[in-house]
Amino acid sequence: MTVYPQLPQVAVFDTSFHQSLPEHAYRYAVPEHLYRDHGVRRYGFHGTSHRYVSHRAAEIAGLSIGDSSWLSAHLGNGCSTCAIVDGQSRDTSMGLTPLEGLAMGTRSGDIDPNLHSHLASTLGWSLEEITRVLNSESGLKGLSGLSNDMRALEQAREQGHPGATLAIEVFCYRLAKSLAAMSCALPQLDGLIFTGGIGENSPLIRSKTVAHLKLFDLAIDKEANARCIRGIAGPIHKYGHTRILVVPTNEERQIALDTLALLN
Ligand SMILES: Nc1ncnc2c1ncn2[C@@H]1O[C@H](COP(=O)(O)OP(=O)(O)O)[C@@H](O)[C@H]1O
Ligand SMILES: CC(=O)OP(=O)(O)O
Ligand SMILES: [Mg+2]
């Protein structure tokens, strides 16, 4: 800014895609003044990615983004789900902070909100220590006692490691539960999207997650699921069933497109 004072600076916020959430989706059931005076509400994150992959999914499916409904699962180190209707975010699993929602690499995701007071009173932990453990020592890492890296956990699971096996089971069940919850925001389901390092590369996680969604018309094509890794996009559902798409995300491109739109 000092060197190029004339150069326009553009900030693209990961929360902005979720500004279309209806109030019943973004408000917490806490006293109103906490929202009014202190901004305590659900904001959501990974908006750049959910937006990008839902547009790509519509293109791949030959549907209009303005007239289609999607469930999106962004599974990187941070993980979140999103319900997208006619190109707008209608609900998402992260909240005031990225800690809410799914079990992630090192984040616990949803826990009993009383866990803080339980840990403080039984172990004497400070707020800082509890925050650190829930954000940095939990999730896949905490459950497995091994790693936050899904590749390492899949390998360890193959060799019968109980912690890795459990971490993967919890991750997929919690993800399926979140997707089922997100479906409340959709008028119909045109497709389920997997993205992020895990979503783009793990046939195991995709098939285990879909297996939990028994009441949805979802079925995975084994060969297509195995093929869609390392940047290969495409459908992985069985013919005649609801679409399931692997869509590599490209947050950098979406940021560039948003910047271009603003500058024009
Ligand atoms: N082949 C793979 N199989 C399973 N998981 C993978 C594979 N490749 C990458 N991942 C996982 O993707 C996650 C990282 O995702 P990524 O989107 O790169 O993260 P970030 O949120 O930091 O951008 C890690 O858990 C990593 O183990
Ligand atoms: C918001 C968030 O979780 O980001 P990341 O996926 O980079 O952890
Ligand atoms: Mg990422």
CA distance 136 to 141: 8
CA distance 254 to 183: 25
What residue spans define the domains of the chain? 16-263
pLDDT at 264: 86
Residue 91 known to be catalytic: no
pLDDT at 178: 99
129 is in an annotated binding site: no
pLDDT at 157: 98
Q: What's the fold here for domain 16-263?
A: Nucleotidyltransferase; domain 5 (3.30.420)
Query: Minimal CA–CA distance to 104: which of 145, 148, 164, 146?
Result: 148
Residue 182's SS3 state is helix
Non-local (6+) Cβ contacts of 62 within 8 A are none
pLDDT at 97: 98
196 is in an annotated binding site: no
pLDDT at 86: 98
Kindly state if the Cβ of 76 falls inside 6 Å of ligand 1. yes
Which ligand lies nearest to the CA atom of residue 98 in the structure? 2
Tell me if 101 sits within 8 A of 53, measured CB to CB. no
Which residue in the block uniquely carries the two structure tokens 């045109």?
190
Kindly state if the Cβ of 65 falls inside 6 Å of ligand 1. no
74 - beta bridge partners?
80, 195
Query: Could you list the mean pLDDT of each consecutive 10-residue stretch along the chain, which spans 264 residues?
Result: 91 96 98 98 98 98 98 98 99 98 98 98 98 98 98 98 98 98 98 98 98 96 98 98 98 96 90
pLDDT at 1: 85
Kindly state if the Cβ of 76 falls inside 6 Å of ligand 2. yes
